[in-house]
Amino acid sequence: LAKTTQPISMDSYEGQEVNITCSHNNIATNDYITWYQQFPSQGPRFIIQGYKTKVTNEVASLFIPADRKSSTLSLPRVSLSDTAVYYCLVGDGTGGFKTIFGAGTRLFVKA
Amino acid sequence: IAGITQAPTSQILAAGRRMTLRCTQDMRHNAMYWYRQDLGLGLRLIHYSNTAGTTGKGEVPDGYSVSRANTDDFPLTLASAVPSQTSVYFCASSDGENTEAFFGQGTRLTVV
């Protein structure tokens, strides 16, 4: 199973861009990289998914270098409501449906 | 659209009692999952099911069992609850490998 490593916590201010990097040295060829967001007392919510290079949607961008051993979630112009825990996941290396969460990164956005 | 529905929302359970947490999805997803989340920690996979009729063990399966009789339902059973099973339990579903997973709102279980 591909294990992920993320910073435990990060602080930011409203209006800033936030970049959260995740290391996944043992990522398998067929693994995708997926990021989830979790607010207190709620289940995680999908943010973005990618396989290589760059993916962008309405809420975030995901940057993946050529070796795919890391990825960076970029949140443009964060607001107070972006305070949450962000999880980086890679697919089960066996190709199965198991989804393994790490401890996540706790982002605090200050006014 | 309901998505994932979990029941109950919360429960206080005496140690040694049997408890089934219910999970139903209306998205016709093949895969379903049960996670537990302890205070301040990430989610840990308990059991999963790739498709109706099949189940598999996750990271922390001991003390829990699941069944997948049909596509929509994936109940989690604690045969004899212990205090260390106090946690928030999340059910999720996805359409398969490398696709978005949808989570329920969780069941907060306290075993005393």
pLDDT tens string A52-81: 999 999 999 999 999 999 999 999 999 999
- B-chain CB neighbours of A102 within 8 Å are 42
Over residues B21-28, the mean pLDDT reads: 96
- Cα within 13 Å of Cα(B50), Cβ side: 10
At B83, phi and psi to the nearest 5? -55, -30
Which A residues, 54 through 73, put their C-beta within 8 Å of a C-beta on chain B?
none
Who contacts B40 (Cβ-Cβ below 8 Å, separation ≥6)?
none
- A-chain CB neighbours of B92 within 8 Å are 43-44, 99
Residue A108 near chain B (CB below 8 Å) = no
- B-chain CB neighbours of A104 within 8 Å are 42
In the sheet that holds A61-64, the strands lie side by side as: A18-23, A70-75, A61-64, A53-56
Percent of chain A residues past pLDDT 70, beyond the cut = 90
Residue A8 near chain B (CB below 8 Å) = no
Task: Report the C-alpha gap between A60 and B95 in whole angstroms.
Answer: 22
Percent of chain B residues past pLDDT 90, beyond the cut = 81
Task: Report the C-alpha gap between B48 and B45 in whole angstroms.
Answer: 8
**Using one digit for the tens of pLDDT, what is the confidence trace for B55-105?**
999 889 999 999 999 999 999 999 999 999 999 999 999 887 667 889 999
Task: Give exposure, A38-73, as e/b (b: 16+ Cβ within 10 Å).
Answer: beeeebbeebbbbeeeebeeeebbbbbeeebebbbb
Which segment of A75-89, B19-33, B38-52 scores lowest on mean pLDDT? B38-52
Mean pLDDT score across all residues of chain A: 89
Q: What is the pLDDT of residue A96?
A: 46
Q: Is the four-CA dihedral B62, B51, B101, A24 of positive or negative sign?
A: positive
Cβ–Cβ below 8 Å for A31 and B98: yes
Q: What is the pLDDT of residue A94?
A: 45
- A-chain CB neighbours of B5 within 8 Å are none
